[in-house]
Chains A and B, each alone.
Chain A
Amino acid sequence: MSTIIKVLGPGCPKCKTTFHNVEEALKQLGIEATLEKVEDIEEMMKYNVLTTPVLIINDAIKIKGRIAQVEEIKALLK
Protein backbone atom coordinates (compact mmCIF):
# COMPACT_ATOMS: atom_id res chain seq x y z
CA MET A 1 0.00 0.00 0.00
CA SER A 2 1.41 3.31 -0.90
CA THR A 3 1.64 6.05 1.66
CA ILE A 4 -0.95 8.81 1.56
CA ILE A 5 0.26 12.16 2.78
CA LYS A 6 -1.99 15.17 3.26
CA VAL A 7 -1.05 18.71 4.11
CA LEU A 8 -3.92 20.72 5.58
CA GLY A 9 -3.86 24.49 5.42
CA PRO A 10 -5.78 27.32 3.82
CA GLY A 11 -2.87 28.42 1.68
CA CYS A 12 -0.82 30.43 4.13
CA PRO A 13 2.97 30.68 3.79
CA LYS A 14 3.54 28.16 6.59
CA CYS A 15 1.33 25.64 4.84
CA LYS A 16 3.19 26.11 1.57
CA THR A 17 6.52 25.61 3.31
CA THR A 18 5.26 22.41 4.90
CA PHE A 19 4.05 21.12 1.55
CA HIS A 20 7.37 21.95 0.01
CA ASN A 21 9.22 20.21 2.85
CA VAL A 22 7.20 17.05 2.28
CA GLU A 23 8.09 17.08 -1.41
CA GLU A 24 11.72 17.53 -0.49
CA ALA A 25 11.62 14.70 2.07
CA LEU A 26 10.03 12.35 -0.45
CA LYS A 27 12.64 13.23 -3.01
CA GLN A 28 15.50 12.67 -0.60
CA LEU A 29 14.14 9.31 0.50
CA GLY A 30 13.19 8.29 -3.03
CA ILE A 31 9.75 7.13 -1.88
CA GLU A 32 6.64 7.18 -4.02
CA ALA A 33 3.64 8.52 -2.16
CA THR A 34 0.33 10.17 -2.84
CA LEU A 35 0.73 13.77 -1.77
CA GLU A 36 -2.37 15.88 -1.40
CA LYS A 37 -2.90 19.49 -0.45
CA VAL A 38 -6.16 20.14 1.42
CA GLU A 39 -7.14 23.77 1.23
CA ASP A 40 -10.88 23.50 1.68
CA ILE A 41 -11.93 24.46 5.20
CA GLU A 42 -14.88 22.07 5.32
CA GLU A 43 -12.69 19.16 4.33
CA MET A 44 -10.08 20.29 6.83
CA MET A 45 -12.51 20.38 9.73
CA LYS A 46 -13.23 16.69 9.34
CA TYR A 47 -9.90 16.12 10.96
CA ASN A 48 -10.91 18.25 13.94
CA VAL A 49 -7.82 20.41 13.86
CA LEU A 50 -7.50 23.86 15.39
CA THR A 51 -4.23 25.12 14.04
CA THR A 52 -2.72 24.83 10.63
CA PRO A 53 -0.62 23.62 8.89
CA VAL A 54 -1.25 19.96 9.65
CA LEU A 55 0.69 17.01 8.34
CA ILE A 56 -1.29 13.80 7.98
CA ILE A 57 0.29 10.50 7.07
CA ASN A 58 -2.07 7.59 6.35
CA ASP A 59 -4.94 9.39 8.07
CA ALA A 60 -3.03 9.98 11.29
CA ILE A 61 -2.24 13.53 12.41
CA LYS A 62 1.51 13.69 12.82
CA ILE A 63 2.36 17.35 13.17
CA LYS A 64 0.04 20.29 13.62
CA GLY A 65 0.22 24.02 14.07
CA ARG A 66 3.74 24.41 12.84
CA ILE A 67 6.02 23.86 9.91
CA ALA A 68 7.21 20.29 9.62
CA GLN A 69 10.93 20.16 8.93
CA VAL A 70 12.37 17.95 6.21
CA GLU A 71 14.31 15.80 8.67
CA GLU A 72 11.24 15.29 10.84
CA ILE A 73 9.16 14.20 7.87
CA LYS A 74 11.86 11.81 6.77
CA ALA A 75 11.90 10.27 10.25
CA LEU A 76 8.11 9.91 10.19
CA LEU A 77 8.14 8.24 6.77
CA LYS A 78 10.78 5.66 7.54
Chain B
Amino acid sequence: MFDWLQHFSDWLIYSVFQIGASTRLGIALNFFVYDVVKILILLFVIVFLMGIINAYLPIEKLRDYLHRKKLYGLEYLFASTFGAITPFCSCSSVPLFIGFVQGGIPLGVTFAFLITSPLVNEVAIALFIGMFGLKATLIYAVSGILLGTIGGWLLGKLKLDHLLSDWVKKILANKLQQFEYEEEKLTFRQRLPEITRGAWDIVKGVVIYVVIGIGIGAAMHGYVPENFFNQYLGGGQWWTVPLAVLVAVPMYANAAGIVPVIQVFVAKGVPLGTAIAFMMATVGLSIPEATLLKKVMTMKLIAIYFGVVTFFIILSGYIFNLIL
Protein backbone atom coordinates (compact mmCIF):
# COMPACT_ATOMS: atom_id res chain seq x y z
CA MET B 1 0.00 0.00 0.00
CA PHE B 2 2.87 2.31 0.77
CA ASP B 3 5.37 1.07 -1.83
CA TRP B 4 5.22 4.35 -3.67
CA LEU B 5 6.23 6.13 -0.51
CA GLN B 6 9.25 3.89 -0.02
CA HIS B 7 10.28 4.66 -3.59
CA PHE B 8 9.83 8.33 -2.90
CA SER B 9 11.94 8.19 0.29
CA ASP B 10 14.67 6.20 -1.46
CA TRP B 11 14.70 8.68 -4.29
CA LEU B 12 14.69 11.72 -1.99
CA ILE B 13 17.46 10.59 0.34
CA TYR B 14 19.68 8.50 -1.92
CA SER B 15 19.34 10.40 -5.19
CA VAL B 16 18.39 13.97 -4.37
CA PHE B 17 20.42 14.39 -1.17
CA GLN B 18 23.05 11.92 -2.33
CA ILE B 19 23.31 10.22 1.06
CA GLY B 20 24.47 6.65 0.68
CA ALA B 21 21.97 3.83 1.19
CA SER B 22 24.48 1.96 3.29
CA THR B 23 25.38 4.79 5.65
CA ARG B 24 23.75 5.03 9.07
CA LEU B 25 22.63 8.55 8.35
CA GLY B 26 21.08 7.46 5.05
CA ILE B 27 19.14 4.63 6.69
CA ALA B 28 17.96 6.84 9.54
CA LEU B 29 16.85 9.67 7.23
CA ASN B 30 15.09 7.32 4.85
CA PHE B 31 13.23 5.73 7.76
CA PHE B 32 12.31 9.18 9.06
CA VAL B 33 10.87 10.53 5.79
CA TYR B 34 8.99 7.33 5.05
CA ASP B 35 7.47 7.06 8.51
CA VAL B 36 6.51 10.70 8.95
CA VAL B 37 4.65 10.87 5.65
CA LYS B 38 3.01 7.46 6.11
CA ILE B 39 1.87 8.20 9.65
CA LEU B 40 0.48 11.61 8.76
CA ILE B 41 -1.56 10.09 5.92
CA LEU B 42 -2.90 7.29 8.15
CA LEU B 43 -3.60 9.74 10.93
CA PHE B 44 -5.67 11.96 8.71
CA VAL B 45 -7.65 9.04 7.29
CA ILE B 46 -8.41 7.48 10.70
CA VAL B 47 -9.26 10.76 12.39
CA PHE B 48 -11.48 11.67 9.45
CA LEU B 49 -13.35 8.33 9.68
CA MET B 50 -13.79 8.81 13.43
CA GLY B 51 -15.09 12.29 12.71
CA ILE B 52 -17.79 10.84 10.49
CA ILE B 53 -18.80 8.30 13.14
CA ASN B 54 -18.94 11.01 15.76
CA ALA B 55 -21.03 13.32 13.63
CA TYR B 56 -23.71 10.65 13.64
CA LEU B 57 -23.12 9.30 17.14
CA PRO B 58 -22.67 12.33 19.35
CA ILE B 59 -21.81 11.70 22.96
CA GLU B 60 -25.21 12.93 24.15
CA LYS B 61 -26.85 10.23 22.11
CA LEU B 62 -24.55 7.58 23.57
CA ARG B 63 -25.34 8.70 27.09
CA ASP B 64 -29.02 8.69 26.35
CA TYR B 65 -28.72 5.18 24.94
CA LEU B 66 -26.87 3.89 27.99
CA HIS B 67 -29.47 5.51 30.19
CA ARG B 68 -32.56 4.22 28.47
CA LYS B 69 -31.66 0.69 27.52
CA LYS B 70 -31.54 -2.26 29.85
CA LEU B 71 -28.44 -4.00 28.66
CA TYR B 72 -28.07 -6.85 31.16
CA GLY B 73 -24.42 -6.34 31.93
CA LEU B 74 -23.49 -5.46 28.38
CA GLU B 75 -23.59 -1.76 29.29
CA TYR B 76 -19.98 -2.00 30.46
CA LEU B 77 -18.90 -3.29 27.08
CA PHE B 78 -20.95 -0.61 25.33
CA ALA B 79 -19.58 2.20 27.48
CA SER B 80 -16.05 0.97 26.94
CA THR B 81 -16.56 0.74 23.18
CA PHE B 82 -18.08 4.21 23.12
CA GLY B 83 -15.01 5.40 25.01
CA ALA B 84 -12.82 4.01 22.27
CA ILE B 85 -14.67 5.63 19.39
CA THR B 86 -15.19 9.08 20.87
CA PRO B 87 -12.26 11.38 20.39
CA PHE B 88 -10.43 11.91 23.63
CA CYS B 89 -9.51 15.28 25.00
CA SER B 90 -8.18 15.26 28.54
CA CYS B 91 -9.99 18.50 29.26
CA SER B 92 -13.33 16.88 28.48
CA SER B 93 -12.85 13.92 30.81
CA VAL B 94 -14.16 15.66 33.91
CA PRO B 95 -17.27 17.19 32.32
CA LEU B 96 -17.94 13.80 30.74
CA PHE B 97 -17.59 12.02 34.04
CA ILE B 98 -20.03 14.38 35.76
CA GLY B 99 -22.38 14.36 32.83
CA PHE B 100 -22.57 10.59 32.91
CA VAL B 101 -23.23 10.18 36.63
CA GLN B 102 -25.61 13.11 36.50
CA GLY B 103 -27.51 11.35 33.77
CA GLY B 104 -28.02 8.35 35.99
CA ILE B 105 -25.34 6.14 34.48
CA PRO B 106 -23.89 3.88 37.21
CA LEU B 107 -20.39 4.71 38.41
CA GLY B 108 -18.90 1.45 37.14
CA VAL B 109 -20.25 2.04 33.63
CA THR B 110 -18.91 5.59 33.73
CA PHE B 111 -15.53 4.20 34.74
CA ALA B 112 -15.62 1.76 31.83
CA PHE B 113 -15.96 4.76 29.53
CA LEU B 114 -13.34 6.77 31.39
CA ILE B 115 -10.74 3.99 31.25
CA THR B 116 -11.05 3.27 27.54
CA SER B 117 -11.42 6.83 26.34
CA PRO B 118 -7.70 7.73 26.55
CA LEU B 119 -6.50 4.11 26.35
CA VAL B 120 -7.84 3.45 22.87
CA ASN B 121 -7.89 6.63 20.85
CA GLU B 122 -7.83 7.44 17.17
CA VAL B 123 -4.30 8.84 17.20
CA ALA B 124 -2.88 5.71 18.83
CA ILE B 125 -4.80 3.49 16.41
CA ALA B 126 -3.46 5.33 13.36
CA LEU B 127 0.09 5.06 14.66
CA PHE B 128 -0.33 1.42 15.55
CA ILE B 129 -1.53 0.54 12.06
CA GLY B 130 1.42 2.38 10.59
CA MET B 131 4.05 0.93 12.90
CA PHE B 132 2.87 -2.54 13.85
CA GLY B 133 0.30 -3.51 11.23
CA LEU B 134 -3.37 -4.40 11.42
CA LYS B 135 -3.12 -7.52 13.57
CA ALA B 136 -1.29 -5.83 16.44
CA THR B 137 -3.66 -2.86 16.17
CA LEU B 138 -6.68 -5.12 16.48
CA ILE B 139 -5.20 -6.84 19.52
CA TYR B 140 -4.43 -3.50 21.09
CA ALA B 141 -7.89 -2.03 20.44
CA VAL B 142 -9.85 -5.11 21.47
CA SER B 143 -7.84 -5.69 24.62
CA GLY B 144 -8.11 -2.00 25.51
CA ILE B 145 -11.89 -2.21 25.22
CA LEU B 146 -12.01 -5.43 27.26
CA LEU B 147 -9.76 -3.87 29.86
CA GLY B 148 -12.16 -0.94 30.21
CA THR B 149 -15.13 -3.31 30.39
CA ILE B 150 -13.68 -5.52 33.11
CA GLY B 151 -12.06 -2.63 34.98
CA GLY B 152 -15.31 -0.66 34.97
CA TRP B 153 -17.30 -3.68 36.08
CA LEU B 154 -14.91 -4.35 38.96
CA LEU B 155 -14.88 -0.71 40.06
CA GLY B 156 -18.67 -0.77 39.94
CA LYS B 157 -18.77 -3.86 42.16
CA LEU B 158 -16.53 -2.16 44.71
CA LYS B 159 -19.33 0.36 45.47
CA LEU B 160 -17.19 3.44 45.54
CA ASP B 161 -19.87 6.12 45.29
CA HIS B 162 -19.13 7.43 48.78
CA LEU B 163 -15.60 8.30 47.67
CA LEU B 164 -16.71 10.93 45.17
CA SER B 165 -16.24 14.61 45.98
CA ASP B 166 -19.03 16.11 48.07
CA TRP B 167 -20.43 18.32 45.37
CA VAL B 168 -20.57 15.37 42.98
CA LYS B 169 -22.55 13.41 45.56
CA LYS B 170 -24.96 16.31 45.72
CA ILE B 171 -25.41 16.10 41.97
CA LEU B 172 -25.98 12.36 42.28
CA ALA B 173 -28.68 12.95 44.87
CA ASN B 174 -30.79 14.88 42.40
CA LYS B 175 -30.16 13.21 39.12
CA LEU B 176 -31.68 14.51 35.99
CA GLN B 177 -34.33 12.15 34.80
CA GLN B 178 -34.72 13.73 31.46
CA PHE B 179 -32.25 15.46 29.31
CA GLU B 180 -32.97 16.56 25.86
CA TYR B 181 -30.42 17.10 23.24
CA GLU B 182 -30.94 18.58 19.88
CA GLU B 183 -29.56 16.67 17.03
CA GLU B 184 -28.13 18.89 14.40
CA LYS B 185 -30.05 18.24 11.23
CA LEU B 186 -27.44 18.44 8.59
CA THR B 187 -26.77 16.49 5.46
CA PHE B 188 -23.49 14.67 4.96
CA ARG B 189 -22.45 17.28 2.45
CA GLN B 190 -23.04 20.05 4.98
CA ARG B 191 -21.10 18.22 7.66
CA LEU B 192 -18.13 17.39 5.47
CA PRO B 193 -16.26 20.70 5.79
CA GLU B 194 -16.56 20.61 9.57
CA ILE B 195 -15.39 16.97 9.79
CA THR B 196 -12.47 17.67 7.49
CA ARG B 197 -11.47 20.72 9.48
CA GLY B 198 -11.76 18.77 12.73
CA ALA B 199 -9.54 16.00 11.38
CA TRP B 200 -7.09 18.53 10.07
CA ASP B 201 -6.96 20.29 13.46
CA ILE B 202 -6.18 17.04 15.27
CA VAL B 203 -3.46 16.11 12.79
CA LYS B 204 -1.97 19.61 13.04
CA GLY B 205 -2.03 19.34 16.82
CA VAL B 206 -0.01 16.14 16.96
CA VAL B 207 2.29 16.63 13.99
CA ILE B 208 5.07 17.91 16.21
CA TYR B 209 4.88 14.81 18.43
CA VAL B 210 4.92 12.56 15.39
CA VAL B 211 8.01 14.30 14.05
CA ILE B 212 9.82 14.21 17.40
CA GLY B 213 8.79 10.62 18.12
CA ILE B 214 9.79 9.35 14.71
CA GLY B 215 12.96 11.45 14.88
CA ILE B 216 13.99 9.74 18.10
CA GLY B 217 12.88 6.43 16.62
CA ALA B 218 14.87 7.00 13.44
CA ALA B 219 17.99 7.95 15.39
CA MET B 220 17.66 4.84 17.53
CA HIS B 221 16.88 2.73 14.50
CA GLY B 222 20.11 3.71 12.82
CA TYR B 223 22.36 3.71 15.86
CA VAL B 224 21.16 1.22 18.44
CA PRO B 225 22.50 -2.24 17.63
CA GLU B 226 20.11 -5.12 16.85
CA ASN B 227 18.94 -7.03 19.90
CA PHE B 228 20.34 -4.34 22.18
CA PHE B 229 17.34 -4.43 24.50
CA ASN B 230 17.18 -8.16 24.34
CA GLN B 231 20.01 -8.34 26.82
CA TYR B 232 18.11 -6.26 29.35
CA LEU B 233 14.40 -6.42 28.65
CA GLY B 234 13.78 -9.14 26.13
CA GLY B 235 14.74 -12.21 28.08
CA GLY B 236 11.22 -12.78 29.30
CA GLN B 237 12.00 -12.04 32.93
CA TRP B 238 8.75 -11.79 34.86
CA TRP B 239 9.47 -8.33 36.21
CA THR B 240 9.89 -6.57 32.87
CA VAL B 241 6.14 -6.06 32.30
CA PRO B 242 5.34 -4.54 35.73
CA LEU B 243 8.47 -2.42 35.54
CA ALA B 244 7.57 -1.04 32.11
CA VAL B 245 4.02 -0.28 33.26
CA LEU B 246 4.99 1.31 36.56
CA VAL B 247 7.51 3.56 34.85
CA ALA B 248 4.86 4.59 32.33
CA VAL B 249 1.92 5.34 34.65
CA PRO B 250 3.02 8.77 35.94
CA MET B 251 4.40 9.75 32.54
CA TYR B 252 2.26 11.67 30.20
CA ALA B 253 3.06 11.39 26.56
CA ASN B 254 1.02 11.82 23.47
CA ALA B 255 0.40 8.52 21.68
CA ALA B 256 1.73 10.19 18.56
CA GLY B 257 5.13 10.60 20.14
CA ILE B 258 5.36 7.38 22.09
CA VAL B 259 4.38 4.76 19.48
CA PRO B 260 7.30 5.43 17.07
CA VAL B 261 9.77 5.07 19.92
CA ILE B 262 8.13 1.84 21.07
CA GLN B 263 8.33 0.48 17.56
CA VAL B 264 12.11 0.73 17.69
CA PHE B 265 12.17 -0.94 21.10
CA VAL B 266 10.24 -3.82 19.59
CA ALA B 267 12.46 -3.95 16.51
CA LYS B 268 15.47 -4.17 18.79
CA GLY B 269 14.20 -7.03 20.88
CA VAL B 270 11.60 -5.89 23.43
CA PRO B 271 8.56 -8.24 23.37
CA LEU B 272 5.50 -6.65 21.71
CA GLY B 273 3.29 -7.37 24.73
CA THR B 274 5.58 -5.49 27.08
CA ALA B 275 5.64 -2.61 24.61
CA ILE B 276 1.83 -2.46 24.29
CA ALA B 277 1.48 -2.53 28.08
CA PHE B 278 3.99 0.30 28.34
CA MET B 279 2.07 2.37 25.83
CA MET B 280 -1.30 1.73 27.44
CA ALA B 281 0.07 2.89 30.79
CA THR B 282 1.55 6.00 29.22
CA VAL B 283 -1.58 7.18 27.43
CA GLY B 284 -4.18 5.66 29.79
CA LEU B 285 -2.98 6.97 33.11
CA SER B 286 -0.96 10.01 34.02
CA ILE B 287 -0.30 12.53 36.75
CA PRO B 288 -2.06 15.35 34.85
CA GLU B 289 -5.15 13.18 34.55
CA ALA B 290 -5.10 12.43 38.28
CA THR B 291 -4.91 16.16 38.95
CA LEU B 292 -7.99 16.77 36.81
CA LEU B 293 -9.91 13.95 38.48
CA LYS B 294 -9.19 15.41 41.92
CA LYS B 295 -12.02 17.81 41.20
CA VAL B 296 -14.53 14.99 41.26
CA MET B 297 -12.96 12.20 43.29
CA THR B 298 -11.21 11.80 46.60
CA MET B 299 -7.56 10.78 46.52
CA LYS B 300 -8.55 7.36 47.75
CA LEU B 301 -10.85 6.80 44.80
CA ILE B 302 -8.21 8.01 42.36
CA ALA B 303 -5.73 5.60 43.94
CA ILE B 304 -8.17 2.69 43.61
CA TYR B 305 -8.98 3.66 40.04
CA PHE B 306 -5.32 3.90 39.06
CA GLY B 307 -4.50 0.72 40.96
CA VAL B 308 -7.18 -1.33 39.22
CA VAL B 309 -6.28 -0.05 35.75
CA THR B 310 -2.55 -0.54 36.37
CA PHE B 311 -3.19 -4.10 37.51
CA PHE B 312 -5.16 -4.92 34.38
CA ILE B 313 -2.59 -3.34 32.10
CA ILE B 314 0.14 -5.47 33.66
CA LEU B 315 -2.07 -8.52 33.32
CA SER B 316 -2.72 -7.83 29.65
CA GLY B 317 1.00 -7.32 29.10
CA TYR B 318 1.60 -10.88 30.29
CA ILE B 319 -1.25 -12.21 28.18
CA PHE B 320 0.07 -10.45 25.05
CA ASN B 321 3.51 -11.89 25.61
CA LEU B 322 2.00 -15.34 25.92
CA ILE B 323 -0.13 -15.20 22.78
CA LEU B 324 1.98 -13.03 20.48
Contact = CB atoms under 8 A, between A and B. Distances in A.
Interface residues of B, number: 27
A13 B92 CA distance: 12
Contacts of A13: 205
Interface of A: 9-15, 41-42, 44-45, 48-52, 65-67, 69
A42 B168 CA distance: 9
B90 A45 contact: no
B16 interface: no
Interface string B79-94: 0000000000111101
B99 A48 contact: yes
Given A10-B292, A45-B98, 7 more contacts: A9-B91, A12-B91, A14-B91, A49-B95, A51-B89, A66-B194, A66-B198
Interface string B158-195: 00000000010001000010010000000000000010
Contacts of B36: none
Contact of B98 (A41, A66, A67): A41
B91 A45 contact: no
Given A45-B95, A48-B99, A12 B59 contact: no
Pairs of residues from A and B, 8 with the lowest C-beta to C-beta distance, nearest first:
A12-B91, A50-B99, A50-B59, A51-B92, A10-B91, A45-B98, A41-B295, A50-B96
A52 B59 CA distance: 12
Contacts of A67: 201
B63 interface: yes
A51 B95 contact: yes
